[in-house]
A and B are shown apart, each in its own frame.
Chain A
Amino acid sequence: MKVKLPTPSEALDRVRETEVWKSIFRPGSIFRRGYKDTSRDRALATMNNVLYHLHPVKMKRHGLKLTYTFCLGGLSFFLFIVLTITGIFLMFFYRPAAELGSAAAYTDMQNIRTSVFFGDLVRNMHRWGAHLMVLSVTLHMARVFYTGSYKPPREFNWVIGVLLLFLTLGLSFTGYLLPWDQLSIWAVTVGTSLGGYAPFIAKQTNFLLLGGVVVGPDTLLRWYVLHVLALPFVLVIFLSVHFWRIRKDGGISGPL
């Protein structure tokens, strides 16, 4: 008996007819059989996707112009995702422990650079990505200012954006200490002393942040927890409100 094998495209069609496939890809998905390039399916492609439904179905045409947004807000969010993924990878190989004269944190950093598979690349991406994110968030703020996008009804979203900028700086600064090398502890020492001139609360705040009067092993643990858990948690909350308000305030601002 001769069995006729299906061609690859026939096989793909058959797979796309199965219950399992149809249960994964909701109607309107471009991976579902029968997707047509109609207004209805284009709308469903946005609405029925967990990633895309942050977006509206339709938007103002001018928002597509690259020179209006430069994609800066979206790229800041994308860099946050990249930093989360690379950061989780690095967490597997890093202990925030330090003693005088020797430090597990520093040894782990050297191991990441030399023995961990792709460790050096991931660490570089995490570091450069963090600097890039500070830059892109700052530029995003400038773009929003120059397009007047903070004007009613978007005033409060601007305030949230300022908070997000400072959270980004906080995340970058807390991460700066973690390698526990000469560069990091002295940059943090100088950085925290800059804020130490504020009257009344500065001494207490610095003591709370550093876990002492100088940068030491307690600081490392505190800043590690801030860096990998506390600050990202707060940032994600404000990020959600930020995105939600964009939609509620009428989508992209303008046109100019």
Chain B
Amino acid sequence: MAREDTPLDQETFDKVLADELAKGTDRRVAEGRARSAAVRAYRAAHGEPAPSAAAAPTDGAASGDGGQAPAVPAATPAAAPAAAAAAAAAPAPGGTTAVATMPAPQAPAPTGNVPEPKKGAPEKHRLLALVPPEGIQRVEREQGDRINVWPHLLIEEFIALLVVLAGLTIFSTLVNAPLRELANPNLTPNPSKAPWYFLGLQELLRYFHPMVAGVVFAPTLVLLALAVVPFVDRNPSIKPGDRKLAITLFTMLMMFGATLTIIGSFFRGTGYNWVWPWAQGVFFDL
């Protein structure tokens, strides 16, 4: 779209431009205001619809396709408000002070139906969104020192993946997973142990009454306590120096769990009694 194609009223243009410049307005802004006033004046004089005050209420309510407006003047009033905006004036940067010289065309009352496409309308459509400054969400974030994920991170991830896959494959070639004799509900093996990640709990049940260990410790203290950690720890700092209590407590919990698991795995033998793994052997299956 060429701006020069838009017909405008030269007299109005000159007059408004002189007025604005006399007021001390910046030349660029003054030209814009003069141009928009001139276009309105031209349209008013030639019986074309003026831009609707409702459709263009804010500053800078410029249309993206103002240059096409003269080509489809008659169809505009019947169209939806968006189309009226499309037929609006040429770009008017800065505050538009000129008043619309014709009453706004009435948009058809909403019927609830899907609007019909305009006859002869181009296949492509352009939409211009007008966003008032207060509608923009401002994100306060430092740009920081940022790098491209490809290739830096992806190569690192790929290497980590290959290392783990190679390790897992080699280990699986060398060490067979256990498969004992067929399940027999009438023959309890000695000792009977849970999978290793439950052995800490099984060990705990050695020391406490089941109501304490099974109820209080396992589901409540671990699942719930872990889940509510972010809502209990209100310390906003992530510096390890500021988080001595949190780190100490968590490390103690992890060490507690790891110790119990190791004891349950390697230091418990026949009858779930204490054994020294180097003396009596290991009673443990993965």
Q: Which of A16-24, A194-202, A237-245 binds B? A: A194-202
**CB-defined contacts of B181 to chain A, threshold 8 Å:** 181-182
Given contacts A148-B237, A186-B192, contact A195 B214 (CB under 8 A): yes
Which of A71, A121, A184, A214 touches B173 (beta carbons < 8 Å)?
Answer: A121
A side interface size, CB within 8 A? 88
Contacts of B156-195 to chain A: CB distance below 8 A: 156-157, 160-161, 164-165, 168-169, 171-173, 175-185, 187-189, 192-195
Which among B144, B198, B236 has the highest number of chain A CB atoms within 10 Å? Answer: B198
CB-based nearest A residue for B182: A106
Given contacts A52-B149, A61-B147, A131-B286, contact A189 B192 (CB under 8 A): yes
CB-based nearest A residue for B146: A58
**A183 on interface, CB distance cutoff 8 Å:** yes
Assembled-state Cα–Cα distance A253/B230 (Å): 14
Contact, CB under 8 Å: A197 / B214 = yes
Given contacts A132-B168, A151-B230, A253-B238, contact A187 B179 (CB under 8 A): no
Assembled-state Cα–Cα distance A117/B106 (Å): 77
CB-based nearest B residue for A125: B172
**B231 on interface, CB distance cutoff 8 Å:** yes
**B229 on interface, CB distance cutoff 8 Å:** yes
Which of A79, A142, A159 touches B254 (beta carbons < 8 Å)?
Answer: A142
Contact, CB under 8 Å: A60 / B144 = yes
Minimal beta-carbon separation of B173 from chain A (angstroms): 6
Assembled-state Cα–Cα distance A46/B214 (Å): 47
Q: What 0/1 readout, one digit per residue, does chain A (6-34) give for beta carbons within 8 Å of chain B?
A: 00000000000000000000000000000
Q: What 0/1 readout, one digit per residue, does chain B (71-110) give for beta carbons within 8 Å of chain A?
A: 0000000000000000000000000000000000000000
**B277 on interface, CB distance cutoff 8 Å:** no
**CB-defined contacts of A84 to chain B, threshold 8 Å:** none
Assembled-state Cα–Cα distance A43/B147 (Å): 10
CB-based nearest A residue for B198: A191
Contact, CB under 8 Å: B147 / A128 = no
Assembled-state Cα–Cα distance A120/B172 (Å): 9
Minimal beta-carbon separation of A158 from chain B (angstroms): 5
**B256 on interface, CB distance cutoff 8 Å:** no
Minimal beta-carbon separation of A182 from chain B (angstroms): 4
Minimal beta-carbon separation of A28 from chain B (angstroms): 9
Q: What 0/1 readout, one digit per residue, does chain A (188-228) give for beta carbons within 8 Å of chain B?
A: 01110011111100000000000000111000000000000
**CB-defined contacts of B198 to chain A, threshold 8 Å:** 173, 190-191, 194
Contact, CB under 8 Å: A71 / B156 = yes
CB-based nearest B residue for A62: B145
Assembled-state Cα–Cα distance A173/B194 (Å): 9
Given contacts A60-B145, A61-B145, A183-B178, contact A127 B286 (CB under 8 A): yes
Assembled-state Cα–Cα distance A196/B218 (Å): 12
**CB-defined contacts of A74 to chain B, threshold 8 Å:** 157, 160-161
User: What are 27 A-B residue pairs whose CB atoms fall within 8 Å in the complex?
Assistant: A71-B156, A74-B160, A79-B164, A110-B179, A121-B173, A132-B168, A145-B246, A145-B250, A146-B250, A148-B237, A150-B230, A154-B230, A158-B230, A162-B223, A166-B223, A179-B179, A181-B180, A181-B183, A182-B183, A183-B180, A185-B183, A187-B193, A187-B285, A190-B198, A194-B198, A197-B213, A199-B211
Q: List 15 additional contacts besides A64-B152, A191-B198; criterion CB under 8 Å.
A: A43-B148, A43-B150, A59-B146, A59-B149, A60-B146, A63-B153, A78-B161, A124-B175, A134-B197, A142-B250, A145-B250, A152-B230, A194-B202, A197-B214, A198-B215
Binding site for A on B (CB under 8 A): 141, 144-154, 156-157, 160-161, 164-165, 168-169, 171-173, 175-185, 187-189, 192-198, 201-202, 205, 210-211, 213-215, 218-219, 223, 226-227, 229-231, 233, 235-240, 243, 246-247, 250, 254, 285-286
Binding site for B on A (CB under 8 A): 39, 42-43, 45-46, 52, 55-64, 66, 71, 74-75, 78-79, 82, 98, 102-103, 106, 109-110, 113, 120-121, 123-125, 127-129, 131-132, 134, 141-142, 145-152, 154-155, 158-159, 162-163, 165-166, 169, 172-173, 176, 179-187, 189-191, 194-199, 214-216, 250, 253-254, 256
Interface pairs A-B: 8 shortest CB-CB: A148-B238, A197-B214, A155-B230, A124-B172, A127-B177, A197-B210, A191-B194, A71-B160
